[in-house]
Amino acid sequence: MNPETRERLENLLSSDVYRDNLEFWERAWNMVKEPYTKLPDLEYLNTIPETLTNRSVRSVLDLGCGTGWLAVYLAKQGFHVTGLDISLHAIKLARGWAEKEDLDIHFDVGDIAELPYPDATFDAVVANSIFEHFPFEVAQVTLQKLKRILVPGGTFIGCFDKVGGGPGEYYELADQTHVYTDKARKGMLLRYYQDEDLKQILNGWKIETLRELETGTRFVVAFT
Ligand SMILES: C[S@@+](CC[C@H](N)C(=O)[O-])C[C@H]1O[C@@H](n2cnc3c(N)ncnc32)[C@H](O)[C@@H]1O
């Protein structure tokens, strides 16, 4: 990373905008009393364990796991799963659920931008509906940093939702990230990642799948 990019990134990560987004998630999760145990209706869902199995994956990091539906789904299929989320409350709910199901999932509270794991810890990283909540440069650097915590040839599976616009008030940062200002979503960041953006943030990854769903959401499978 060149010094200019590093400085811009550091400024962004220590900015009010970034902090307000983290606070938005903590507030949003604090209103939730039970984990979301119902599997969402996602057309690519079945392909995730299939892809992981085909790649002989055993250990998986679920980035931004929320209350853990994907972590639990994968653990039930025999993968060794770790979940990471910024929200302590969401992680408490996820831990409680895993315990009830007698599943050995390790859940951590932490910031995706920091990735608090040693080198080559995981065979794969899954990130469902996460990166659209990051400004471009944070997403770009985080995707490059993921390579460090993956084994060589490691797998990345990500879903980049098409969200943004719609109801609510927001202003736009120079990189097209929306910063919400209305009461319900105050502080939340949303950016729409299209094919060219994804190719840019996945620079150096071998992209196996880059699929646009009917909704404009992108589903990606890539390898280091
Ligand atoms: C749209 S939710 C998706 C949750 C889950 N992956 C799913 O598919 O339902 C985004 C998640 O990212 C988490 N998150 C947002 N910013 C984060 C950050 N900087 N570090 C870790 N988690 C973050 C939020 O707490 C929230 O659980």
| For the chain, domain boundaries | 1-31, 35-86+93-125+148-165
In 3D space, the residue among 162, 157, 159 whose CA is nearest the CA of residue 192 turns out to be: 162
Work out the pLDDT band at 184, boundaries 50, 70, 90: confident
- Whole-model pTM: value is 0.96
Q: Which of 139, 126, 127 is nearest to 190 (CA)?
A: 139
- 86 Cα: distance to centroid of ligand 1 (angstroms): 7
pLDDT at 3: 85
Residue (of 6, 134, 142) closest to 61 by Cα position: 142
How far, in Å, CA of 50 to CA of 65, rounded? Answer: 20
For every residue of 189-211, DSSP letters joined together read EE----HHHHHHHTTTSEEEEEE
84-95: pLDDT as tens digits = 999 999 999 999
Nearest CA to ligand 1 atom 7: 128
Q: Which of 85, 88, 114, 159 to mutate to test the pocket of ligand 1 (most atoms within 8 A of CB)?
A: 85
Q: Tell me, what's the pLDDT at 25?
A: 96
* Distance between Cα 64 and ligand 1 center (Å): 4
Structure tokens at 41: 């209706």
Name the CATH superfamily housing domain 35-86+93-125+148-165.
Answer: Vaccinia Virus protein VP39 (3.40.50.150)
pLDDT at 102 over 80: yes
| Span 121-148, pLDDT tens digits | 999 999 999 999 999 999 999 999 999 9
